[in-house]
Amino acid sequence: MSPIVSYSTEDRIFIVKNWYLCGENATLLLQKWSATFRNRPKPSRAMARDLIRKFERFGYVADDLKGKAGAK
């Protein structure tokens, strides 16, 4: 099993932007990622798909804010 990789907001923006520039083609997107970020692990197709769905549904790509804030 591969280690869990955390992608920055800039990485996520790159994925979403290039998803549409590549004609919504995951293969082309991952090739572009590999050409741009040679020494960094590629996101999985599932991660890219989930990120695109999140962007289309909510309009943002940042991590959901989770924490212990709230009424006590």
pLDDT for 42-60, tens place per residue? 999 999 999 999 999 999 9
pLDDT for 13-49, tens place per residue? 999 999 999 999 999 999 999 999 999 999 999 999 9
The pLDDT value given to residue 1: 55
Q: Could you tell me the pLDDT band of residue 5, with boundaries at 50, 70 and 90? A: confident
Q: How far apart (Å, rounded) are the C-alpha atoms in residues 29 and 20?
A: 9
Q: Where along the chain do its domains lie?
A: 9-58
Q: Higher model confidence: residue 9 or residue 71?
A: 9
The pLDDT value given to residue 63: 83
Q: How far apart (Å, rounded) are the C-alpha atoms in residues 15 and 51?
A: 8
Q: What burial letters (b/e) apply to 19-52, b meaning 16+ CB within 10 Å?
A: beeeeeebeebbebbeeeeeeeeebeeeebeebb
